[in-house]
């Protein structure tokens, strides 16, 4: 009896210590946020449910069949050599032409684009329109090689935890048609990216843990029904990070698709200022600007263009822009993101600080000559 009691006591101790160890590992081993600056998270798309849930795990092979032949490999040639490759998908077929959606960075700077279909047929593609801030491009091909067109869905109705999958060409041409599966990890993630300078733009994206690698860029992100809900665009690459990829919501892409198809440059508003982040103290001092110690974020005006919207509204060197409309702008990247939600000709109120006084100014947004 004593021996049995000792054995039971030993088992109990192992159970308790094991539980303590696992708890420690879970707490101590959690990943820090590796997007080190300029990110915001909105907890949207989470289903609230108090009832028991029964999971019926089934395959998605049927859904893969709805997109597989619509997915293409895009090879970007510089001269006579393949410089890079990516993915894309046929979203429309009209007459003798078909249209592929992909990323701007997949097709940027090409001398020639070769498009490979799922059956290995190849055809040359032509970029109709592309935009570096959207990271989107539309490529036109001969419709005779197209056997399937993607079904466009919506990310707005998707929920965090939903099954998602991708089809694309990770790493290289020999892996074309690869399928990866995972979960929708988050919605409305605000991620800093570099477009024309370091971390100068914010993208609102879907976060996924389905594996995406170089070459998956431009490929479709799909829900369990095989409907396109996003376009794979980027991922976090750090030794301590696994499974953090991001996709452009399909609604955002389709908003601009007509302009891209027609080769129109995306028209964006401007206010006509040179600027720095309020946190860039040394650079500001070199410009002769010293901010009040209470100012910890915002965008500092270094100068205004003559007759620009900012100059006409009375903004001047040293003013700090804190808000556009009712949206805070912590830095230059967020200012550009919020500004580009408006149209040329719109009137918008900005909240600023001059010295230690807050004031509002109304700007009528203009069109940049470099846009």
Is position 56 annotated as part of the catalytic site?
no
Residue with tokens 């997007």: 35
Q: Which of 63, 69, 84, 105 is catalytic?
A: 105
d(CA 227, CA 67): 8
The residues, any chain, with a CB within 8 Å of residue 27's CB and separated by 6 or more, are none
Helices (H), 262-343: 281-286, 309-312, 332-339
d(CA 233, CA 297): 28
Dihedral pair phi/psi, residue 68, rounded to 5°: -55, -50
**Cα angle value 194/306/322 (rounded, 5°):** 50
d(CA 253, CA 248): 7
In the structure encoding, which two tokens stand for residue 102, read together? 């992909």
Q: Which of 217, 233, 308, 319 is catalytic?
A: 217
Q: Three-state SS for 74?
A: strand
d(CA 69, CA 115): 13
Q: Which of 135, 185, 308, 330 is catalytic?
A: 135
Please say whether the dihedral angle defined by the alpha carbons of residues 39, 337, 88 and 84, taken in this order, is positive or negative.
Answer: negative
Is position 217 annotated as part of the catalytic site?
yes
CA distances from 254 to 35, 68, 80, 94, 333 (A): 27, 20, 33, 17, 23
Residues marked active site are found at: 105, 135, 217
């Amino acid at each position: 009896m004593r021996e049995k009691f000792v054995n039971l006591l030993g088992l109990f101790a192992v159970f308790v210590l094991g539980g303590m160890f696992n708890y420690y590992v879970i707490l101590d081993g959690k990943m820090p946020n590796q997007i080190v600056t300029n990110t915001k998270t909105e907890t949207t798309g989470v289903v609230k449910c108090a009832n028991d849930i029964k999971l019926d795990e089934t395959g998605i092979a049927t859904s893969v069949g709805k997109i597989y032949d619509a997915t293409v490999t895009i090879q970007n040639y510089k001269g006579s050599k393949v410089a890079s490759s990516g993915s894309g998908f046929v979203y429309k077929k009209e007459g003798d032409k078909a249209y592929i959606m992909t990323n701007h960075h997949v097709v940027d700077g090409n001398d020639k684009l070769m498009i490979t279909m799922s059956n290995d047929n190849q055809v040359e593609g032509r970029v109709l329109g592309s935009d570096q801030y959207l990271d989107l491009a539309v490529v036109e091909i001969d419709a005779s090689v197209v056997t399937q067109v993607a079904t466009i869905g919506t990310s707005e109705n998707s929920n965090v935890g939903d099954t998602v999958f991708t089809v694309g060409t990770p790493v290289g041409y020999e892996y074309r048609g690869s399928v990866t599966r995972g979960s929708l990890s988050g919605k409305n993630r605000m991620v800093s990216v570099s477009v024309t300078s370091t971390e100068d733009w914010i993208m609102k994206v879907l976060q996924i843990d389905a594996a995406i690698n170089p070459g998956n860029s431009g490929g479709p992100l799909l829900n369990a029904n095989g409907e396109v809900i996003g376009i794979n665009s980027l991922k976090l690459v750090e030794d301590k990070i696994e499974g953090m990829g991001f996709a452009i919501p399909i609604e955002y892409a389709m908003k601009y698709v007509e302009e891209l198809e027609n080769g129109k440059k995306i028209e964006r508003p401007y206010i006509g200022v040179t600027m720095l982040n309020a946190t860039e103290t040394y650079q500001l001092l070199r410009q002769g600007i010293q901010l009040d110690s209470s100012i910890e974020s915002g965008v500092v005006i270094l100068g205004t263009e003559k007759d620009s919207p900012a100059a006409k509204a009375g903004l001047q060197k040293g003013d700090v822009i804190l808000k556009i409309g009712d949206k805070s702008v912590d830095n230059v990247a967020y200012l550009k993101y919020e500004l580009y939600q408006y149209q040329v000709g719109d009137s918008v109120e900005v909240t600023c600080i001059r010295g230690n006084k807050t004031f509002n100014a109304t700007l009528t947004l203009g069109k940049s000559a470099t846009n």
